[in-house]
A and B are shown apart, each in its own frame.
Chain A
Amino acid sequence: MRSLMTKMTKMNREDFKILDQKIYGRQLVYLDNAATTQKPQVVIDTLKAYYETINSNIHRGVHYLSQRATDEFEAAREAVRRFINARHAYEIIFTRGATDSMNLVAASFGRTFLHEGDEIVVSEMEHHANIVPWQFLCEDRGCVLKVLPFNEKGELCIEQLDQLITPKTKMLAVTHVSNSLGTVNPVKEIVEIAHKKGVPVLLDGAQAVSHCKVDVQALDCDFYCFSGHKMYAPMGIGVMYGKEEWLNKMKPYQGGGEMIKQVTFAKTTYNDLPFKFEAGTPSVGDAMGLKAAIEYMETIGMENIAAYEKELLDYAEERLSSIEGLRIYGQAARKAAIVSFNIDKIHPSDIGAIIDKLGVAVRTGHHCTQPIMDHFGIPGTVRASFAIYNDKKEIDDLYEAVYRAKNMLL
Chain B
Amino acid sequence: MAQTLQEAEQQIIEEFEIFDDWLDKYNYIIELGKELPLIDEQYKTEQYLISGCQSQVWLHADYRDGLIYFTADSDAIITKGIINLLIRVLSGRTPQEILDCNLEYIDQIGLKEHLSPTRSNGLVSMIKQIKIYALAFSQKS
Nearest CB of B to A103, in Å: 21
A354–B54 CB distance below 8 A: no
Nearest CB of B to A272, in Å: 43
B22–A24 CB distance below 8 A: yes
Q: Binary interface profile of A, 330-350, with partner B (CB < 8 Å = 1, else 0)?
A: 000000000000000011111
* Count of A-B residue pairs with CB < 8 Å: 41
Q: Which residues of A contact B53 (CB under 8 A)?
A: 365-366
17 further A-B contacts with Cβ under 8 Å, apart from A349-B79, A365-B120, are: A347-B55, A347-B75, A347-B76, A349-B54, A349-B55, A349-B121, A350-B76, A353-B26, A353-B114, A357-B22, A357-B26, A364-B54, A365-B53, A379-B55, A379-B75, A408-B26, A408-B27
Instruction: Please list 13 pairs of residues, one from A and one from B, whose beta carbons are closer than 8 Å in the complex, sorted by A's number.
Output: A346-B77, A349-B55, A350-B77, A353-B114, A354-B26, A365-B53, A379-B54, A379-B55, A379-B56, A408-B26, A408-B27, A409-B30, A409-B77
| Residue from A348, A379, A408 within 8 A of B30 (CB atoms) | A408
Cα(A348)–Cα(B22), bound, Å: 19
Q: Which residues of A contact B76 (CB under 8 A)?
A: 347, 349-350
Q: Which of B77-136 contact A (CB under 8 A)?
A: 77-79, 114, 120-121
Contact of B1 with A by CB under 8 A = no
Nearest CB of A to B34, in Å: 9
Contact of A380 with B by CB under 8 A = yes
Nearest CB of B to A402, in Å: 15
Contact of B18 with A by CB under 8 A = no
Q: Which residues of B contact A380 (CB under 8 A)?
A: 54
Q: Binary interface profile of B, 17-49, with partner A (CB < 8 Å = 1, else 0)?
A: 000001100110010000000000000000000
Cα(A364)–Cα(B76), bound, Å: 12
In the complex, residue of chain B having the shortest beta-carbon distance to the beta carbon of A353: B78
Q: Which residues of B contact A357 (CB under 8 A)?
A: 22-23, 26
Cα(A409)–Cα(B79), bound, Å: 12
| Residue from B23, B78, B120 within 8 A of A350 (CB atoms) | B78
A349–B26 CB distance below 8 A: no
Cα(A83)–Cα(B121), bound, Å: 40
Q: Which residues of B contact A409 (CB under 8 A)?
A: 30, 77
Determine which residue in B22, B23, B55 has the highest number of CB atoms from chain A within 10 A of its CB, and name it: B55
Number of chain A residues whose Cβ lies closer than 8 Å to a Cβ of chain B: 16
Q: Which residues of B contact A348 (CB under 8 A)?
A: 54
Q: Which of B41-67 contact A (CB under 8 A)?
A: 53-56
In the complex, residue of chain B having the shortest beta-carbon distance to the beta carbon of A379: B75
Q: Which residues of B contact A354 (CB under 8 A)?
A: 26, 78
Q: Which residues of B contact A24 (CB under 8 A)?
A: 22
Nearest CB of B to A358, in Å: 9
Q: Which residues of A contact B77 (CB under 8 A)?
A: 346-347, 350, 409
Q: Which of A350-376 contact B (CB under 8 A)?
A: 350, 353-354, 357, 364-366
In the complex, residue of chain B having the shortest beta-carbon distance to the beta carbon of A347: B76
Nearest CB of B to A349, in Å: 4
Nearest CB of B to A121, in Å: 28
In the complex, residue of chain B having the shortest beta-carbon distance to the beta carbon of A349: B54
Cα(A125)–Cα(B76), bound, Å: 25
Nearest CB of B to A100, in Å: 22
B26–A365 CB distance below 8 A: no
Nearest CB of B to A168, in Å: 35
Nearest CB of B to A341, in Å: 16
Q: Which residues of A contact B30 (CB under 8 A)?
A: 350, 408-409
Nearest CB of B to A367, in Å: 11
Nearest CB of B to A372, in Å: 15
Nearest CB of B to A331, in Å: 25
Cα(A357)–Cα(B56), bound, Å: 22
Q: Binary interface profile of A, 102-121, with partner B (CB < 8 Å = 1, else 0)?
A: 00000000000000000000
Cα(A348)–Cα(B79), bound, Å: 12
Q: Which of A377-410 contact B (CB under 8 A)?
A: 379-380, 408-409
Cα(A380)–Cα(B76), bound, Å: 11
Cα(A358)–Cα(B44), bound, Å: 33
In the complex, residue of chain B having the shortest beta-carbon distance to the beta carbon of A346: B77
Nearest CB of B to A346, in Å: 8
Determine which residue in B22, B30, B77, B114 has the highest number of CB atoms from chain A within 10 A of its CB, and name it: B77
Nearest CB of A to B77, in Å: 5
Cα(A224)–Cα(B62), bound, Å: 55
Q: Binary interface profile of A, 130-157, with partner B (CB < 8 Å = 1, else 0)?
A: 0000000000000000000000000000
Determine which residue in A24, A354, A366 has the highest number of CB atoms from chain B within 10 A of its CB, and name it: A354
Cα(A348)–Cα(B55), bound, Å: 9
Q: Which residues of A contact B114 (CB under 8 A)?
A: 353
In the complex, residue of chain A having the shortest beta-carbon distance to the beta carbon of B122: A349
Cα(A248)–Cα(B66), bound, Å: 69
Determine which residue in B23, B76, B78 has the highest number of CB atoms from chain A within 10 A of its CB, and name it: B76
Cα(A366)–Cα(B52), bound, Å: 11
In the complex, residue of chain B having the shortest beta-carbon distance to the beta carbon of A345: B77
In the complex, residue of chain B having the shortest beta-carbon distance to the beta carbon of A380: B54
In the complex, residue of chain A having the shortest beta-carbon distance to the beta carbon of B54: A349
